[in-house]
Amino acid sequence: MMALRVGKDPFDYINEVKVERSKHAMKRRLQEYTPNPSSIDKLENIDQKYHLIVFSAEWCGDCVAYVPALAKSLAIAKNNMIQARVIDHDNYRDMGDEMGVGKLPTIIVFDKNWKEIGRFIETPKKYGTVEEELCAILDSGSESAKV
């Protein structure tokens, strides 16, 4: 999938942000953010392959908040079954349009066969944090995988 080639590791993305204010805010968020422990436990125990494609932009306040939170959650969980790539929406708007991205950040979750199982758009909708929201999507995906 093209998104894997153009996407960056979440930490590389944060380190390469050009807007200084956003970069500093993202790095501070990365240091200060404490992910939900039960979500981390769930992420550590995922035993199927999942791909996360994250559309983000440096000027986007929600991206500055949620991309570092996601990066830190995945880093703490240390599970290579979950791969995340961040795509700069401004540079790859056509790809975003193709994937139905309207608001940022948009985190699209795919199963191992690249079938979309859910997305996180802008802010958490059901739960308080990006990692809780991700766990809910992964739970729904693993349920459908068992059926």
- CATH code, domain carrying 27: 3.40.30.10
What's CA 19's distance to the chain center, in Å? 20
Please state the domain count of the chain.
1
pLDDT at 147: 39
Place 1 in a pLDDT band, splitting at 50, 70 and 90.
low
pLDDT, tens digit, 9 for 90 and up, residues 84-139: 999 999 999 999 999 999 999 999 999 999 999 999 999 998 888 999 999 999 98
pLDDT of amino acid 5: 78
pTM of the full structure: 0.92
The residue segments making up the domain with residue 112 are: 2-146
Total count of residues recorded for the chain: 147
Which phi and psi (to 5°) does residue 80 adopt?
A: -75, 5
pLDDT at 36: 94
55 Cα distance to chain centroid: 8
Residue 44 has pLDDT above 70, yes or no: yes
**Residue 6: pLDDT over 50:** yes
Q: What is the dihedral of CA 104, 10, 98, 103, to 10 degrees?
A: 0
